[in-house]
Structure 1
Amino acid sequence: MRSAVWVPLFDELADPRAAVRLAVAAEEHGWDGFFVWDHVRWREPVAAVADPWTTLAAVATATSTIRLGPMVTALPRRRPQVVARQTATLDVLSGGRLVLGAGLGSDRFGGEYSRFGDEVDDRRRAGMLDEALEILGTAWAGEVVEHHGEHHTVDGVRFLPRPVQERVPVWIAGFPGRRRPLHRAARYDGFVPVNLEHPDQLAAAVGQIHDLRDDPAAPYDVAVTLPASADLIGFEAAGATWWLTDFDPHRITLDEVGGVVRDGPFR
């Protein structure tokens, strides 16, 4: 099981220079990835929030081996044509190390939708997510994008340069027991279960995704977000291929993250 430092860019970590220092230290200590939360607002007591894409660009130039990316980005509140440019640019800048985490997002953590007049209905956001993922796949392939959907329009645009990777890995976030997120996850490259409580819960979701995939033998990632104190061995046995460090977003400090980084990845 691979290991990644996964942090919200809040308060002390809202300084991108601090995130870069953590990413450099993570690479030096043998971690496999450095992923960041993607939010424009969070509930109190969080006050400061950094932009993930700018931060990841800085991380990309300061590191050379670790995987990186937003984990997860709520595509329904982002324009897919802008994300197509951002992801391709970041993949080129990093030499092909980007992983895109994607999901519906939620309004309950900080009113990220309602306070900006964005879509709050889950069903409509699910449709927006699926359309955005379709657009991204065609854009990354270097093909002309012709998309006229309910939520998005791209009228004959080719997105160049392409990413370095033949295909940027997409990990879909969702609740393990819900049918539609599992079906969506099975169509892409990985799954990030939300509110995971027990290895048995993970094993059941992994089994369902396996049965839904067109090619169950193809490589596939399952990334669990857990604190360092969790039963990582149990989750690895249940099918996890990545461990992402989970921190309390309301109490996270640079010292806390630095200590976990220095302790090293799961082995």
Structure 2
Amino acid sequence: MKFGFIGSYGSPAQQVRLAQECEAHGWDGFFTWDGVSLGDDSFGAHPTWDPFGLLAAVAAVTERITLGAMVFALPRRRPWELAQQVLTVDHLSGGRLVLPVGTGASLDRAFTSVAGQPATLRDRARAMDEVLAWLERSWSGESFEHDGEWAGTGPFRFPVPPVHGRVPVWPVAVWDAEHPPRRSLDRALRWDGMVPQVRGGDSPEDAEPGPDQVRDLVAWIGEHQEAAGPYDVVMQGRFDADRAVAQQQARAAAEAGATWWVESWWDPTTTTPESLLERARQGPPAL
């Protein structure tokens, strides 16, 4: 299991420094996030930054860690611009970019304040599928056209593919052991991994699956995955300040089948750029 860290708060310069400290202290990945003008609550009072701009800066000053965002909101992105951004950061980092992707937050004003954007969850899911299909075709190196529900384009060609031929895609998928949401899960199974969330809850923390849920999900994936090869299951959480307890948390996640633990601190009343830096410098617990 690998260990990632989210730069949930801080200026661009603070996040770049945080990523450098993550690499220096044994973390395997650094993730930013993707939002535009997030409402008027306490979280929305914080500034938002362009994730690809941040990741490009981080790519230039790191050598080893995986880079991404938790998560890229694809339905509001123009696929041709996204393809160019992905390709740029992928090559700048030497092939270290991954793409956790989702339908976007409902309070994001890039959806609610812009005419013509997909509004409902169902519409955003269809738009995400279309953007992903466009993006994958852009990696072929061949000229292609697209006639879709949300975007119609004439010929495009990106002559240089990603460093490793493609960039791993990890869609968000909803998990419910009693009634597995097949549309969400089947979408994720078509790609390279998934970021599971459980139904319900009023905060990102409420949506995080525990080890038992991850174990059930991994078993389900083993029964339903058709393609051979590695598949990532990304678990989000927060390590306890007690290192012995944190080690137990890490072992439980790894034994459940998670391939990534991503350290995720979102509470705006307790999380600061300074507290994130302090936690990153502690490094991940040993397995």
Q: Give per-residue Cα distances to partners, 1:200-220, cap 9 Å, x unaligned.
A: 2112222222322222x4111
d(CA) in 2 for partners of 1:33, 1:101: 12
Separation in 2, partners of 1:2, 1:127: 31
Gap runs ≥5 in structure 2: 198-206, 241-245
Distance 1:209 1:159 in 2: 33
Query: What displacement does 1:227 show?
Result: 0.7
Match of 2:202 in 1: none
Aligned position for 2:68 = 69
Q: Distance in 1 between matches of 2:153 and 2:103?
A: 21
Alpha-carbon distance between aligned partners in 2 of 1:202 and 1:41, rounded to the nearest angstrom: 32
User: C-alpha separation between the residues in 1 aligned to 2:64 and 2:210?
Assistant: 31
Aligned to 2:234: 223
Alignment partner, residue 116 of structure 1: 114
Deviation at 1:51, TM superposition (A): 1.5
Shift of 1:111: 4.4
Q: Residue 185 in 1 paired to residue 188 in 2?
A: yes
* Deviations 1:9-55, CA, capped at 9 Å, x for gaps: x4xx1x21111111111111111110111111224223322221111
Deviations along 1:131-158, one digit per CA (max 9) or x if unpaired, are 1111111101212222211112232211
- Provide closer, same or farther for how the CA distance between residues 266 and 137 of structure 1 changes in structure 2, counting only shifts above 3 A: farther
Q: Which residue of 1 aligns with 2:34?
A: 38
Within 5 A, what are the aligned runs for 1:9-158? 10=9, 13=10, 15-43=11-39, 44-45=41-42, 46-108=45-107, 110-117=108-115, 118-158=117-157
Q: Which moved more, 1:224-233 or 1:48-57?
A: 224-233
TM-score, normalized by length of structure 2?
A: 0.86
Which residue number in structure 1 is paired with residue 6 of structure 2?
6
* Partner SS state of residue 175, structure 2: coil
- Which moved further from structure 2: 157-166 or 239-248? 157-166
Q: Which amino acid aligns with 1:225?
A: Q
Aligned residues: 261
Runs of 4+ in structure 1 off by over 6 angstroms are none
**In structure 1, which of residues 258, 261, 265 is the aligned counterpart of residue 280 of structure 2?**
261
Matched, 1:201 2:199: no
Q: State which of 238, 243, 246 in structure 1 corresponds to 2:256.
A: 238
Considering only aligned residues, what root-mean-square deviation do their CA atoms show, in Å?
1.6
| Letter aligned with residue 121 of structure 2 | D
Structure 2 CA distance, aligned partners of 1:41 and 1:266? 35
Deviation at 1:249, TM superposition (A): 4.2
Please state how far the C-alpha of 1:112 moved relative to its aligned partner.
Answer: 4.3
Alignment partners' CA distance in 2, 1:219 and 1:227: 25
Give the Cα–Cα distance (whole angstroms) in 2 for the partners of residues 19 and 226 of structure 1: 19
Match of 2:243 in 1: none
Structure 1 contact 228–246 (Cα < 8 Å) conserved: no
Cα distance in structure 1, aligned partners of 2:48 and 2:105:
17
Amino acid at match of 1:199: P
CA contact (8 A) 2:7 2:32 kept: yes
Whole-Å separation in 1 of the counterparts to 2:38 and 2:15: 18
Tell me how far apart the structure 2 counterparts of residues 219 and 263 of structure 1 sit (CA, whole Å): 29
Does structure 1 retain, via aligned residues, the 8 Å contact 2:52–2:85? yes
